[in-house]
Amino acid sequence: MSSHLSNYQKALQIQREISETLNKSTDLHEILQLSLERLLELMELETGWIFLTEDATFYRLAADYQLPPAMADNREELMHCQEGCTDCTCLQLYWEGRMKQAVNHVKCFRLKQAVTDKMGETRGLTHHASIPLTIRGKKIGLLNLASPGRLRFQEEDLILLETIAYQIGAAVERTRLHVEQTKEEVNATARYLINAYANAEKIKHEIGNVLNRNELFQRIMQALHHHLPHWTHAAIITMEEERLTVQFHSDEHGPKEVFDTEQEINLSRPDFIRKAYAQQRVTQNNKQPLHFFSLKDYQSLYSIAFPLFMRDRPEATFGVLLLSRNTTACDHLEIGMLEGLADHLSMGIERIRLHEEWEALLVDKERNRLARDLHDSVNQKLFALSLISGGLQRLIDKKERAILKAVLEVQQLSKEALIDMRSLIWQLRPNHLEQGLITSFHEYAQKIGLDLSMEAPDDLEINQSYKEALWRIGQEALNNIQKHAGTSKAAMVIQSDADGFTMKVRDQGSGGAVEKQQSLGITSMKERVEELEGSFHINSEKGKGTTIIVRVPIHRKGR
């Protein structure tokens, strides 16, 4: 009884250790080799090998241990498939379906051939036991075991070997399925990346030559929505007046232009969007609060933020491209593809900036040329006309009142035209705002003969695009006073707050400008204010002077 129990326990121990070995790896060769070596050690056998096969035309040696020298040294000839392998007894029995369980005593053709052809030492081996490897009736291979002088195995040993063969067969099938699954996953990833890169190239092509920033943002939002639909939400965020601002965002309904500044700034503990901007690195977020009202739906999604900056000029940081979806996080390949897309968007923004600078240089150059030409030609002729009319006035007899009146009118008109021309030449100078807005208004008023009083904060800071717009509006208002108000005095007040700028221009002249609102000057002022999404008001009653109030909000398209 004790001997039987001991054998039973030994069999369980062997099964447990083989099972543990089979589960150590997903590499087929490794688990078969380790399992074979451990099985031979536990069964006190000397040599063994495993063939894997699928049909009667092919097999391969998957593992072996301590083959006799004749077989080990002639491995290619003796242990691999040769012309259909019809001369191998164990494989023939297996393929013909006559080996459905462990076979105790199989005369080995390979060992016989090694002796006949004097290939080397066989250690006295002539026979081996063969155990079929199957899974759900499917043929997988053969396990062959042998030891010198051992021709037969006990019945319980064969049963144990069959049990272990089932374990090995299951492990082989599990590994095969794992390999197939891994291959399918790799193929699926490859297909996804190929499609993603192709779609990214389409997006790059669609935004390639855009030279307007708003149009660029709108196009990339549309392209992301169309070509990368698995990213269900996207946003472009830029830095505007020290605050990150959502310019466009896209959801399942498509892209939408917004202007949404971050509601909270915590520089000591920045959120992942500000980190991406400040640290110029890709950051990821999963269902954490976002400090933008327009992005409230993004908080339940996985999000990734890509900094928009020029890699050769790290100081040129434009903003952040934000992408969100329901599915899991990105792998490094997808992140690399999306980084390339963000870089292309950054180059588009930089291209627009350079184009705007180039256009500004062209405009300044043309203004300079016009100013020079007007000064050298028309201005000189008007000055000459003024001198001639003054000379004629002195020559004409005072009795010739009609002629004298006409000459006086010519002289007055020539003087006014000369003032206008000098004003125009001064306006056209490229550097007219370099000394500041307040100084420029004072100089301009002096040029056109106005006494201007101004109120403005000493620390007034206005970016160039707003400054240019306010300059043109104020300039036109002063022109109108000089031409139509019948007074040489004007007052201007400029105020700023967190939301924008207010400019008031008033005079105590004749008024009545409301009745002439279709004049070119007033129309021009209104158009400039509308471009900045601001408001324009004019109050001008006859005899009570005129007041113009302009309100321009910051963080708008005029930037």
Query: CATH code for 208-351?
Result: 3.30.450.40
> Taking a C-beta distance cutoff of 8 angstroms, is the pair 383, 374 a contact?
no
pLDDT digits (tens, 9 = 90+) for 222-247: 888 888 888 999 999 998 878 899 99
Residue 255 sits at the vertex; the CA angle it makes with 347 and 221, to the nearest 5 degrees, is 20
* Type of residue found at 487: T
List, in order, residues 6 or more apart from 296 with CB less than 8 Å away: 290
Cα–Cα dist 216/350, whole Å: 11
* Type of residue found at 407: V
Same fold, 208-351 and 435-559: no
Q: 151 or 127: whose pLDDT is higher?
A: 127
- Return the H-helix or E-strand segment holding 146: strand 138-146
Phi-psi bin for 535: left (phi > 0), alpha (psi -120 to 50), beta? beta
CATH superfamily of the 435-559 domain:
Histidine kinase-like ATPase, C-terminal domain (3.30.565.10)
pLDDT digits (tens, 9 = 90+) for 191-202: 877 887 787 788
Q: Where are the beta strands (DSSP E) in 386-496?
A: 451-455, 489-496
- Please give the C-alpha separations between residue 547 and each of 177, 448, 480, in angstroms, as whole numbers: 84, 19, 11
Which residue's structure tokens are 């004003």? Answer: 423
pLDDT digits (tens, 9 = 90+) for 499-535: 888 999 999 888 876 655 446 577 778 888 888 888 9
Q: Where are the domains of the chain?
A: 2-180, 208-351, 435-559
3-class DSSP state for residue 208? Answer: coil
Which residues are 319's β-sheet partners? Answer: 238, 308
Q: Which of 291, 286, 253 is nearest to 270 (CA)?
A: 291
Which residue's structure tokens are 């939400």? Answer: 233
At the top level of CATH, which class does the domain 2-180 belong to? Answer: alpha beta
What percentage of residues in the chain have a pLDDT greater than 70? 84
Burial 453-483 (b: 16+ CB within 10 A, else e): ebebeeeeebeeebbbbbbebbbbbbbbbbe
Full-model pTM = 0.54
Cα–Cα dist 193/130, whole Å: 47
> Taking a C-beta distance cutoff of 8 angstroms, is the pair 259, 237 a contact?
no
557 pLDDT higher than 70: no
> Taking a C-beta distance cutoff of 8 angstroms, is the pair 142, 131 a contact?
yes
How remote is the C-alpha of 182 from its chain's centroid? Answer: 28
76 pLDDT higher than 90: no
Q: Which of 8-22, 293-307, 499-513, 523-537 has the highest mean pLDDT?
A: 293-307
Mean pLDDT calculated for residue range 312-334: 84
3-class DSSP state for residue 342? Answer: helix
Phi, psi of 222, deg, nearest 5: -65, -40
Phi, psi of 546, deg, nearest 5: -135, 140
